[in-house]
Amino acid sequence: MNIAVIGCGRWGSLITWYLDTLGHSLTLYGRQGSARMARFMATRQNDLLTLPPSISLTYDLHCVEDADVIVISIGAQGLQKLMEELRPYRIEGKTFVLCMKGLEMGTGRRLSEIARENLPGSCHVAVWLGPGHVQEFYHGIPNCMVIDSDEPEVKHALIAAFSGDLIRFYYGADLLGNEVGAAAKNVVGIAAGFLDGLGLTTLKGALMSRGTREVARLIHAMGGNELSAYGLCHLGDYEATVFSPFSHNRRFGQLFVEGKTFDKLAEGYYTVEALLTLGKAYHVELPICEAVHAALYEGVDPRTAIQNLMNRDLKGEWD
């Protein structure tokens, strides 16, 4: 396949490197003024990996016109703007793969919804989600991920083309549930960071159990399959999000408690706002999300936010 990857951050560059190893023709796009892209242009390296000469690098978004598949890996809050920037280009009939996790602040829109609302009707949309860290993939440590789409033939074609020894793909069966679950796990990651920073790591078991149940209720209320919360896109991603030293969201939560600044993207910071929007719209109580939001946006001390969770009315295990 001729593939254009939009986004030169840690995931965009890893995807580019990985798909090149499978023999596809790759072009990596980055914006003018991007320090990451400037470094790739000068050295073909970032702090994690080296891109081989077989990969084309460009500042020109026209590269999408020559691609069969366009993979997007940017911050979720920038997707609507990117969709608007793509409108002048000839992209009819192309397949777009969203390798990103999040929900739009203010609206709660899923990323596939944003893409569908902006792309020509002839375009195909899929998501590439699941656990894994760039540092581990680049050093040959394999993992399992999911590709999902409303079009079965699209996800089957992508999985056939993208599968290799490094990534075992599964066919997604619930686009809504997989997107919401993947986004929500970043909020759980921030909560896990709070626990680490407060010396309450033993509560991570409860966080994982109750967090999954909370997200399952929301997915069900939205019309998805609540079992998706227990799959690779949510619970299956907890090790990489709740425990790993490479997790941006966990690290952000820990440093927040410690009063320190985290200078990398922690998508859960934005997603928690969107999740509360969805919880209100679908009349679903989201206590963990509410506690994280209280700490991040309302000035509540994280320890108090956690204590308030512990002091809630008693519930049945499956409530």
Tell me the pLDDT tens digit for each residue of 142-185.
999 999 999 999 999 999 999 999 999 999 999 999 999 999 99
Backbone torsions φ then ψ of 221, nearest 5 degrees: -65, -30
Say yes or no: 259 and 152 in one domain.
no
Is residue 160 in a domain? yes
Q: What is the rounded distance in angstroms from the CA atom of residue 181 to the CA atom of residue 172?
A: 12
Nearest to 102 by CA among 111, 115, 94: 111
Question: What pLDDT does 255 receive?
Answer: 97
pLDDT above 80 for 101: yes
pLDDT band at 209 (very low <50, low <70, confident <90, very high): very high
Say yes or no: 144 and 25 in one domain.
yes
Say yes or no: 27 and 11 in one domain.
yes
Q: What is the pLDDT of residues 221-243, one digit of tens each?
A: 999 999 999 999 999 999 999 99
Q: Are 11 and 28 in contact (CB under 8 A)?
A: no
Whole-number Cα distances in Å, 120 to 57, 77, 152, 218: 26, 21, 19, 30
pLDDT band at 316 (very low <50, low <70, confident <90, very high): confident
Catalytic residue among 185, 260, 264, 315: 185
Residue 283, classed as helix, strand or coil, is coil
pLDDT above 90 for 312: no
DSSP 193: H
Question: What pLDDT does 314 receive?
Answer: 75
Average pLDDT, the chain: 96
Say yes or no: 147 and 11 in one domain.
yes
Pick the last residue of a domain from 171, 196, 224. Answer: 171
Is residue 260 part of the annotated active site? The answer reads no
Return the residue matching tokens 């840690």. Answer: 10
Pick the last residue of a domain from 146, 171, 196. Answer: 171
pTM value > 0.85? yes
Question: What pLDDT does 131 receive?
Answer: 93
Nearest to 49 by CA among 40, 59, 41: 40
Six-digit token string for 229: 């919360």
Question: What pLDDT does 249 receive?
Answer: 96
Say yes or no: 111 and 190 in one domain.
no
Domain range for 16: 2-171
Counted domains in the chain: 2
Q: Are 221 and 182 in contact (CB under 8 A)?
A: no
Is residue 37 in a domain? yes
Q: What is the rounded distance in angstroms from the CA atom of residue 59 to the CA atom of residue 35?
A: 12
Contacts of residue 188, defined as CB under 8 A and 6 or more positions apart, other chains included, come to 207, 208, 211, 215, 238, 241, 242, 268, 288
Burial 104-113 (b: 16+ CB within 10 A, else e): bbeebbbbbb
Say yes or no: 135 and 221 in one domain.
no
Six-digit token string for 44: 């073909």
Nearest to 154 by CA among 89, 99, 93, 72: 93
N- to C-terminal Cα distance for the chain?
A: 47
Q: What is the rounded distance in angstroms from the CA atom of residue 275 to the CA atom of residue 283?
A: 12
Pick the last residue of a domain from 126, 142, 171. Answer: 171
Say yes or no: 136 and 215 in one domain.
no
Nearest to 224 by CA among 185, 182, 186, 191: 182
- Average pLDDT, integer, range 88-115: 97
Pair type for strands 56-58 and 69-72: unpaired
Q: What is the rounded distance in angstroms from the CA atom of residue 250 to the CA atom of residue 241?
A: 6
Q: What is the pLDDT of residues 244-270, one digit of tens each?
A: 999 999 999 999 999 999 988 899 999
Q: What is the pLDDT of residues 14-47, one digit of tens each?
A: 999 999 999 999 999 999 999 999 999 999 999 9
Say yes or no: 282 and 139 in one domain.
no
Q: How many CA atoms lie within 13 A of 198 on its CB side?
A: 20
Secondary structure E strands in 118-173: 124-129, 143-149, 167-171
Say yes or no: 187 and 149 in one domain.
no
Q: What CATH number is attached to the domain comprising 241? A: 1.10.1040.10
Question: What pLDDT does 133 receive?
Answer: 87
pLDDT band at 75 (very low <50, low <70, confident <90, very high): very high
- Average pLDDT, integer, range 203-216: 96
Say yes or no: 146 and 192 in one domain.
no
Q: What is the rounded distance in angstroms from the CA atom of residue 208 to the CA atom of residue 195?
A: 12
